[in-house]
Structure 1
């Protein structure tokens, strides 16, 4: 297997082999995308590069029942962050970190649900939505993103929070919990394993490597941005609505307005580069020097997740040196908190109300 042979090499050769592999696979994924683009041009030349102008904000993004739109400027980076907050100030903080390609709106069901007991803050990560998007790719290193989370908590006037992350936001949540354990009272991650599990598993399992092909494709400059705009952002639409990757028939399908909200955000000038730059820095703090997660942790996973294999969920247990709960939701897709919001919210409530706490040796 690729992972075993690579791990057997000396350190310097292992690093060189890893990067040769990364860029070779990136080139392969790019060639595949280029072939799809050429086929689209040949079959539908008139609509391939056609895009609808979206200048009016969909009304659902200004729904007052979801919360209040707020902004805060981080002292360290100087960047202005956008977030939507619900619930009274002074209540315990619940901080929500979205995945890709998403933004604060992916937490709309949780903003409504948890505001009775928490100050719920759904953040637009660096480069997303109305948050500032630096043009320098190095500005999206994971170390910078983790500091962003710490500074947001500080700026909101808190020292602790319940931290919840989905997909790429789950990666950030794991790393934040590892780096700032005193700040996270409870950790809840949706649809993403512990980062060490992910990096080791992907090298040993070709099936996961194929499912994560977009990670490698995104290493290429400008072309991934172009591909997302083809046929009026068809790739984006398919991610949430197709039979293979979209929200399942048993879940809460996107309304037309929900889809337009996503299209509005990601069709703005330059709106795709920031999110993709996150992936272009995925190796900036991997492999991890520290692995242990020391707070109670809940991991939620969709049985029909098209992007991350469920076997990684159970493997994550090894790295949580405290109470660990895993729930795999039947029929749920990757977009789990939007797919089955009532069940997800119930599982989160149950976990938050438990007082179990145990440190493992």
Structure 2
């Protein structure tokens, strides 16, 4: 992990919501968009590495998470608003474009950003997050339907929140460690910080509302993505079928796909050196 003492914390109102983010380094900006149930801290292994490569690494808490504002209501978490948050943050950083790296829900937001506002992205990196069209295709199969059972369970009011809050958010630790295939990827300190972030007032409902909004508001029509794109995929992801990496040329012509064996959904934590190596090569092409 990098020297956290060298990182700076920032806050600003962006797209009418107060966002918190962490920065490291100077140079061309790289936005790092975390997934569920994490926050900016997901990128603890990438912030220092990217700063060392000569980038300005920017890791926000997405709306609803950790220190960012938590608007009430499911509608506040529809995909268009999440994309507009990122667009506004890029502009707030004083640049027109940025490299964008997204994992899980952050990757879903990044996919849509590339479809809605490609002019704001230099290069796109997605880590274990399904392209919307591929997900719709695979969700029709029994395998992915079974893997996505939790997303259906999240549609129930109140009960998911109660399950997470039980025993001081003990479920969070089980989620990370039970689905991780590399022992030690998540330390006790890591789990403590994830539990602390999820326990902030309003956070767990906001985090689950991403799934509720996705079910209620499908988003705009998908478009072809022409941005140079790298997809990194941990092959032992329990929640997302590896078939989601197939057939993507139709929607993302020229996409580069790097499958990482022996790694689960939590690729930035389980294989940080490999992720950093791929980022170095893709963001700074020869």
Q: Specify the TM-score bucket, using the shorter chain as the normaliser.
A: over 0.9
Instruction: Give 1:133-172 correspondences, 5 Å limit.
Output: 133-172=70-109
Instruction: Give 1:207-286 correspondences, 5 Å limit.
Output: 207-242=143-178, 245-249=179-183, 252-283=184-215, 285-286=217-218
The change in CA–CA distance for 1:215 and 1:177 in structure 2 (over 3 A counts) is same
Cα deviation 1:245-296 (Å, max 9, x = unaligned): 12423xx521111111111111223220111111111045536523211111
Q: Distance in 2 between matches of 1:214 and 1:262?
A: 19
- Counterpart of 1:105 (choices 19, 27, 41) is 41
Deviation of the 1:349 alpha carbon: 1.0
- Counterpart of 2:271 (choices 340, 343, 352) is 340
Q: Distance in 2 between matches of 1:254 and 1:102?
A: 12
Question: Match of 1:115, SS?
Answer: helix
Q: Distance in 2 between matches of 1:104 and 1:142?
A: 19
Runs of 4+ in structure 1 deviating by more than 6 angstroms, as ranges, are none
Structure 2 residue 124 is the aligned partner of structure 1 residue 197: no
Q: Distance in 2 between matches of 1:287 and 1:266?
A: 26
Unaligned ranges ≥5, structure 1: 1-59, 356-361
Cα deviation 1:65-86 (Å, max 9, x = unaligned): 3x11111111x42x11000001
Q: Distance in 2 between matches of 1:228 and 1:131?
A: 20
Contact 1:304 1:331 in 2 (8 A): yes
Q: Distance in 2 between matches of 1:247 and 1:71?
A: 35
Deviation of the 1:61 alpha carbon: 11
- Counterpart of 1:206 (choices 139, 142, 153) is 142
Cα deviation 1:290-309 (Å, max 9, x = unaligned): 32111110000111111101
Deviation of the 1:232 alpha carbon: 2.9
Unaligned ranges ≥5, structure 2: none
Q: Distance in 2 between matches of 1:286 and 1:123?
A: 24
Instruction: Give 1:1-361 correspondences, 5 Å limit.
Output: 63-65=4-6, 67-74=7-14, 76-77=15-16, 79-88=17-26, 91-116=27-52, 117-203=54-140, 205-242=141-178, 245-249=179-183, 252-283=184-215, 285-286=217-218, 288-321=220-253, 323-354=254-285
Contact 2:35 2:107 in 1 (8 A): yes
Cα deviation 1:79-107 (Å, max 9, x = unaligned): 1100000112xx21100110000000000
TM-score by length of 2: 0.95
The change in CA–CA distance for 1:272 and 1:149 in structure 2 (over 3 A counts) is same
Q: Distance in 2 between matches of 1:334 and 1:145?
A: 22
CA-based RMSD: 1.8
Question: Match of 1:175, SS?
Answer: helix
Q: Distance in 2 between matches of 1:280 and 1:254?
A: 28
Q: Distance in 2 between matches of 1:290 and 1:329?
A: 27
Deviation of the 1:318 alpha carbon: 2.2
Contact 1:164 1:187 in 2 (8 A): yes
Equivalent residue pairs, number: 285
Deviation of the 1:316 alpha carbon: 2.2
Work out which of the two has the higher radius of gyration on C-alpha atoms and give 1 or 2.
1
Q: Distance in 1 between matches of 2:87 and 2:168?
A: 37
